[in-house]
Amino acid sequence: MPALLTKEIIFKKLESNKSRLVDFGVQEIGLFGSYVNNQATEKSDIDLLVDFQKDKKTLRNYLRIVYFLEDLFDKKVELITKQSLSKHIGPHILKSVEYVSIAD
């Protein structure tokens, strides 16, 4: 049975794949939810907040990154864009999100 993912493992995997993320048009990406709060279980999905480069925000890039991340982590990924945050839960997510450095 594989070890339970941790925030640190998720960050390392994202950082080691930053060139792929940039290829998908990612400007910044951050983790929120159960993995940030150290409440994740083996059934938890990975909650990520993404912001795309202005000219790279396409449905194709969004879907490509979701499939890539689900393959990378072998786990369901909930990928949310900043623009899709609701006014009710958005502020809570923005307060708790921890960003991964993808800049060179």
Residue 10: the pLDDT is: 97
User: Does the annotation mark 45 as catalytic?
Assistant: yes
- Which candidate in 45, 51, 74, 104 is catalytic? 45
| Distance (Å, whole) CA 70 – CA 85 | 21
Structural domains in the chain plus CATH codes: 7-100 (3.30.460.10)
Residue 103 has pLDDT above 90, yes or no: no
Q: Are strands 77-81 and 46-52 parallel, antiparallel or unpaired?
A: parallel
Q: Which of 58, 59, 65, 51 is nearest to 23 (CA)?
A: 65
Q: Which of 45, 25, 37, 18 is nearest to 98 (CA)?
A: 37
User: Does the annotation mark 71 as catalytic?
Assistant: no
> Cα 54 to chain center, whole Å?
18
Residue 2: the pLDDT is: 59
- For the record, the structure tokens of 96 come out as 């708790």
- For the segment 61-94, what is each residue's pLDDT rounded down to a tens digit? 999 999 999 999 999 999 999 999 999 999 999 9
- Which candidate in 23, 47, 51, 55 is catalytic? 47
CA distances from 36 to 19, 22, 81, 93 (A): 23, 23, 18, 11
Phi/psi for 80 (5° steps) reads -115, 140
Residues written for the chain: 104
